[in-house]
Structure formats: structure tokens, C-alpha cells
Amino acid sequence: MLGFRFLKAPPTTYILHYRGGRIVREGAGLSFWFFGPTAIIVQVPVASRGVPFVFTEVSADFQDVTIQGELTYRVKEPRRLAGLLDFSMDAFGRYRSDDPGKLNERLIHAVQILARSFTQKRPLKTLMVSADAFVTEVLAGLRAAEGVQLLGVEILDLSIIGLKPTPEMSKAFQAEAREEFLRQADEAVYLRRNNAVQLERTIKENELDTEIAVEVKRRQVRESQMSAEIAVEQQRSILVDSKVANERKEGEARAEALRAVLEPVKSVDWRTLIAVNSSGDSRMLISLAFQELAQNASKIGELNISPELLNSLLKGGHK
């Protein structure tokens, strides 16, 4: 009505009301009447905003890597930002230029410059597992960047959804990882088998040691038995030697006794000895007499022997 309009801004929008080239009011969430033909209204959103991004960079080994994430920021100094970019509104409540959209582009460009510096210093394989390091380095670079500070914005957060290689390189990494897993599995099988062989060898060695110990014990037992037998044989030999010596001494004693008995009669005629030992046996004496007669038969002219004598000798009755 008559060029007057009413403006009611939300709390997340900072309002700058210019008139005659000067700021007449400013603040977040203002509500006021203004005269449209002479007023310029600048609305700067100060709420936090998330800006998704996807771009491709090159690693240190000249491989493409796709970086996908989201940048979260808010306008901390809306008056400074309004002095750099046009956030003025027309009579229909629309921005007069496309500068508000360029803010996101400038911030994404800053992210991409820092990301390029990060990726060009690392090989692709390292980048695949460096998301946390990427966030830390790029976020610190954004907060310290002079261009970001001049825009009057505050970087709240940076999140990385993925650092992805090309499909061909991804397959190559998967194949390499698969081969590494298979190799580790083979090593595990080898180690398990090797351990089993070592355990089996240990068992065999223990069995052999046991058998050796048993054989040593058996040999010791046999040696003890042989020692005992040798001792017994030695004692038996001593006993036999003693027995032989005793028997020899006994024989010598008997021989000496016999020699003592025979020595006196050594010079006596044997016939005399027989006659003495006959103990009055007439038949023995008659037999000796006949033997003497036979020996001296050439000297005897005639010999008469009565039949009674011969009969008594044959019958054994005459004594």
C-alpha cells in the first residue's frame, strides 16, 4: 500500500536494511515496515548448511580417485559476506543475482584445492585407507584459509563418504587382497601342518628316548645279573680251588701215611707178607707152597701128594 511493505524474517536470516546507501537497521529475525522504492533489503542466511560434493583427483601414482563428501558451514559474519556477494532482494522476494549460489561453489573449490594437495602426495593404495587423515588435513586447511575467512563463514564439519578408485583399479585391489588372503590361508595351513609334523617328531623322539631308557635299564639289569653271576663263579672257583687243595693235601697225607706203613716192610719178601696177612689160612699157605714147587720143578725128582690133601683143598674144608 502506497509502496510500503512489511518484512518478517526467520531467526536464521540476517537482515540488512539500506536506505540512501546507509544501513538503517540490521539483525537476525527482524520484523518491520519499510518503503519499497527507497529501501534495499539484504537477507543473508546464517543457519548451518551442508554442501555435498563429488570430484575426481589424481594420486601420487597417477591414478584417478573419486572423492565424495559433504561440507557443513554457517555464516559467522553476515555483514562481511554481504559486502563481498550480492544478497539483496527484489520486490518479489527473490535474490537479484546468483551470488548466493556462488558461496557454495567457492567453498567447494577451496575443498578441492586442499584435496588435490592431499592426494598428490600419496599413492592410491594409501588413499583408500586415509579418509580420517584427509578430513583432518583438509578441515584444518579450510579453517586456516584466508579466502574462507574473508567470506565471513565458519567451517563446522567435513565428512568423507568415500575415496574410491576407478572400477578397474578397485577390481585389481580386490584381486590383490584376495590373493593375499589366500596366501595367508596357505601359510596358516602350512604352519598348522608344520606344527603337526613337529609334534609328531617330538612324540617319536620321546618314544625313542623311552625305548633307549628302557634298553639302558635292561642292560644295567643284565650287567648286574652278570656281575652277580661272575661273583658267584669267582666264589665257586675259589671253593673248587680250596676243595682241590684240600683233596690234594688229603691225598698227600694218605700217601705219606701209606709210605710210613710200607717203609718198614719194603725189604720183606712178598711171600712172607702174604703168609703173615693170611691170618692162618692153610689153603693160602698150601697154594704158595705149590707155587714154589712149580717154580723149582726142575730141582725136584719126585713129589707125592695124597688124594686126601687135594680133596680137602678143593672142598675148602681143611684149614
Mean pLDDT of 119-144: 92
What residues does each domain of the chain span? 1-47, 48-77+93-165, 167-267, 270-315
**Is residue 315's pLDDT more than 80?**
no
Taken in order 23, 28, 33, 35, the sign of the CA dihedral is positive
State the residue for C-alpha cell 683233596: 247
User: pTM of the predicted model, to two decimals?
Assistant: 0.56
> Considering only the top CATH level, what class is 48-77+93-165?
alpha beta
Instruction: Report phi then psi at 73, rounded to 5.
Output: -145, 170
Looking at mean pLDDT, say which of 33-42, 111-120, 163-172 comes out highest. 111-120
Kindly report, residue by residue over 72-104, the tens digit of the pLDDT: 999 999 999 999 999 999 888 899 999 998 999
Distance (Å, whole) CA 153 – CA 80? 9
* pLDDT tens figures, 183-214: 888 889 988 999 999 999 999 999 999 999 99
**Segment holding 314, helix H or strand E:** helix 307-315
- Judge whether 67 and 56 are in contact, CB under 8 Å: yes
Does residue 270 have a pLDDT over 70?
no
Residue 26, number of CB atoms within 10 A of its CB: 16
